[in-house]
Amino acid sequence: MHQLDNYVESIKKQFDVGKKIRVSPEYTKIRHLKRKAEKTSDIPLIKELHNKLLNTEYTLFNDPGYKRLHYVRYADD
């Protein structure tokens, strides 16, 4: 099993790309609009944008600049 672990570790080093996953541009846009609304104290708009933020993905799904390989060895006794 040790050889398999070493092999998979070498594949993982080649496969992994990027340091951090990016934030979704849509989420960033809504967050910016919410901060602008907070400065003007537009309560109905703040509530609407807050609800949109809760229903929007924070990270960019399928970011081509970020990928990870996860390896879990399962041992059966």
Residue 7 clears pLDDT 80, i.e. is over it: yes
Residue 49 is encoded by which pair of tokens? 């944008």
C-alpha 38/C-alpha 72 separation (Å) is 45
77 band by pLDDT with thresholds 50, 70 and 90:
low
76 band by pLDDT with thresholds 50, 70 and 90:
low
How far apart, in Å, do the first and last CA atoms of the chain sit? 14
pLDDT at 72: 87
Average pLDDT in the 23-31 region?
Answer: 95
Query: How many other CB atoms are there within 10 angstroms of residue 75's CB atom?
Result: 5
Mean pLDDT, the chain, whole residue set: 91
Query: Closest by alpha carbon to 24, among 62, 58, 70?
Result: 58
- Tell me the per-residue pLDDT of 46-70, one tens digit each, with 9 for 90 and over: 999 999 999 999 998 888 899 999 9
